[in-house]
């Protein structure tokens, strides 16, 4: 079921000894008390399709399969930020109203705050961490720098993911079209004119996403 070519997740750097101790201890305790873990992906294709309590989930993020232990109520946003240490994706409103949490699922932009992680297993998830190729920025990231497309930067990961999708959808052909099709991403700093300019620059350069 899982792509055998998928690289293993890179080991997470140890940042905080205490925190990782707690994580480990929790893991050990959990293992002692919990019934044998069945991978959720297996469960979902097997007879029992019910997922209850903490189980193993697999998410394919930026081309890498990551596993984590979580309950069905964990949103994709919290899974990325709290379990997988991918904190580029931001939490603004947590209710679908601001767009800060925008990621791509199978190439389509969605609000990760209203998406359950359990429901996007086996799908391709792309976050802002997956835009650059190594040191080479995505053209839209470069354009945001060229045009000062941000001030505080909090909305920027969501703007970038939404902008990349907007370009790919073909909705960036005019300034007005960009304004309408980027309206799901709010910017409290009001960097809108520069965000529009950045997206239009990439569109005019012929980049197709």
Partner 1 sequence: MNNFSYTQASSAKEATASRAGTAQSAYIAGGTTLLDLMKANLEEHAQLVDINLLPFKGIEQTADGLRIGAMERMSDVGEHPLVVQNYPAVSESLLLAASPQLRNMASIGGNMLQRTRCGYFRDAAFPCNKRVPGSGCPAIAGDNHNLAILGVSDACIATAYPGDLAVALAAFDAVLTLENAKGKQRRVPVTEFYVLPGRTPQRETVLEPGELIVAVTIPNTAHARRSTYLKVRERTSYAYALASAAVGLDVQGGTIRSARVALGGVGTKPWRSPEAEKVLTGAPATEATFRAAAAAALRGAQPHDDNRYKVELAQNTLVQALLAVSS
Ligand X SMILES: Cc1cc2nc3c(=O)[nH]c(=O)nc-3n(C[C@H](O)[C@H](O)[C@H](O)COP(=O)(O)OP(=O)(O)OC[C@H]3O[C@@H](n4cnc5c(N)ncnc54)[C@H](O)[C@@H]3O)c2cc1C
Q: How many residues bind ligand X (CB under 6 A)?
A: 2
Q: Which of 6, 45, 97, 183 binds ligand X (CB under 6 A)?
A: 97
Counting contacts by CB under 8 A, is residue 110 touching partner 1? yes
Counting contacts by CB under 6 A, is residue 74 touching ligand FES? no
The minimum distance between CB 193 and ligand FES, in angstroms, equals: 12
Residue 8: C-alpha distances to residues 12, 84, 173 (Å): 12, 14, 39
Burial track 101-127 (b if 16+ CB lie within 10 A, e otherwise) = bbbbbeeebbbbbebbbbebbbeebbb
Residue list 86-125, contact with ligand FES (CB under 6 A)? 91-94, 96-101, 111, 113
Counting contacts by CB under 6 A, is residue 96 touching ligand X? yes
d(CA 105, CA 108): 5
> For residue 133, how many other CB atoms are within 10 A of its CB?
8
d(CA 190, CA 184): 14
Query: Is the CB of 26 or the CB of 96 nearer to ligand X?
Result: 96
Which of partner 1, ligand X, ligand FES, none sits in contact with 116, Cβ below 5 to 8 A by type? partner 1
d(CA 94, CA 39): 28
Site for ligand FES, rule CB under 6 A:
91-94, 96-101, 111, 113, 150-156, 187-189, 191
Site for ligand X, rule CB under 6 A:
96-97
């Amino acid at each position: 079921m899982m792509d055998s070519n998928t690289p293993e997740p890179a080991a997470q750097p140890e940042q905080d000894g205490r925190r990782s101790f707690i994580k480990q201890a929790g893991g050990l305790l959990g293992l002692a008390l919990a019934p044998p873990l069945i991978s959720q992906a297996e469960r979902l294709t097997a007879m029992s399709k019910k997922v209850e309590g903490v189980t193993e989930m697999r998410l394919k993020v930026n081309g890498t399969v990551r596993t984590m232990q979580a309950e069905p109520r964990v949103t994709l946003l919290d899974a990325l930020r709290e379990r997988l240490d991918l904190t580029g994706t931001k939490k603004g409103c947590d209710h679908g109203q601001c767009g800060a949490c925008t990621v791509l699922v199978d190439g389509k932009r969605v609000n990760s705050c209203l998406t359950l992680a359990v429901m996007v297993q086996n799908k391709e998830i792309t976050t802002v961490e997956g835009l650059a190729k190594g040191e080479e920025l995505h053209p839209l990231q470069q354009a945001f720098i060229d045009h000062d497309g941000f001030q505080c930067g909090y909305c920027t990961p969501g703007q970038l993911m939404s902008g990349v999708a907007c370009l790919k959808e073909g909705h960036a052909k005019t300034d007005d079209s960009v304004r309408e099709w980027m309206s799901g991403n709010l910017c409290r700093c009001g960097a809108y004119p520069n965000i529009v300019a950045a997206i239009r620059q990439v569109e005019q350069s012929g980049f197709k996403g």
